[in-house]
Amino acid sequence: MEFIDPALLAYCEAHTSPEDPLLQKITRETQAKVLMPRMLSGHLQGKTLELFAKMIRAQSILEIGTYTGYSGICLARGLSKGGKLTTLDINDELEPMVRGFFEESGLAHQIDYRLGNAREIIPTLSGPFDLVFIDADKYYYSEYFDLVIDKVSPGGIILADNVLWSGKVVQEEGKKVDKDTQALLDFNRKVQEDSRVENVLLPLRDGILMARKLD
């Protein structure tokens, strides 16, 4: 998932505002207790999400894919005063851990944590959202985009994680492509061709596609 020399990555992290004890705790407990800990956003990406939210003065954020709450806490820290984060996840086994972290963050009153199928929940949300972070089942990225685009404020931002998919999006021609890789190829092309947004694909961690909804 990393596309940068480890020494350069360490340098970048050393020159990024440090993780606080809670985020360090989430990282430790995720690595110790949860399957696929590489799904955690981590230090560099977490601070990036927080600063994006602050830069656009987000009042309302939607996160699709809570996992263990690291990215949600970073996004919630970036909210403007009185703002709200709605975060969706289908894994109820992680709920006690995640709610505990949200309580420790002191931001639980600003976080609406919902369990269930995001494709069923999103149509029930009214919005508008200033920022949407997509980090769930890659196969449904295009569907998530279609479900949220009309709920995003003009000038609002959609961020999609893992769009480089460990480099699989640039596999040699002729190699067999798995369904998730194909879904991400389709999603990246879909956003690139959508006249409702302007976009940039950032080679941060496993790739973040940022699309700004045109005014």
Say if residue 159's pLDDT is above 90.
Answer: yes
Query: What value does the mean pLDDT take over residues 170-187?
Result: 86
Cβ neighbors of 32 (< 8 A, separation 6 or more) are none
60 in a domain, yes or no? yes
1 in a domain, yes or no? no
11-28, pLDDT tens digit by residue?
A: 999 999 999 999 999 999
Of the listed ranges 21-30, 32-41, 132-141, 169-178, the least confidently predicted one is: 169-178
Q: Helix axis angle, 95-105 relative to 70-77, nearest 10°?
A: 30
Token couple for 66: 């809570």
Say if residue 209's pLDDT is above 80.
Answer: yes
91 in a domain, yes or no? yes
Model pTM score: 0.94
CA distances from 104 to 69, 82, 99, 161, 180 (A): 11, 19, 9, 26, 35
Q: How does residue 172 score in pLDDT terms, banded at 50, 70 and 90?
A: low
Q: How does residue 36 score in pLDDT terms, banded at 50, 70 and 90?
A: confident
How high is the mean pLDDT of the chain?
A: 94
Residue 56 confidence (pLDDT): 97
Domain of 18, CATH number, reads: 3.40.50.150
- Domain holding 38, by residue range, is 6-165+174-213
Total count of domains within the chain = 1
181 in a domain, yes or no? yes
**% of residues, the chain, pLDDT over 70:** 97
Q: How does residue 80 score in pLDDT terms, banded at 50, 70 and 90?
A: very high
Determine the Cα–Cα distance for residues 188 and 206; give it in Å rounded to an integer: 14
3-state secondary structure of 62: strand
Of 86, 179, 168, 71, the residue nearest 127 (C-alpha):
86
Residue 6 confidence (pLDDT): 87
In the numeric block, the tokens 């003065």 are attached to 57
Determine the Cα–Cα distance for residues 148 and 133; give it in Å rounded to an integer: 10
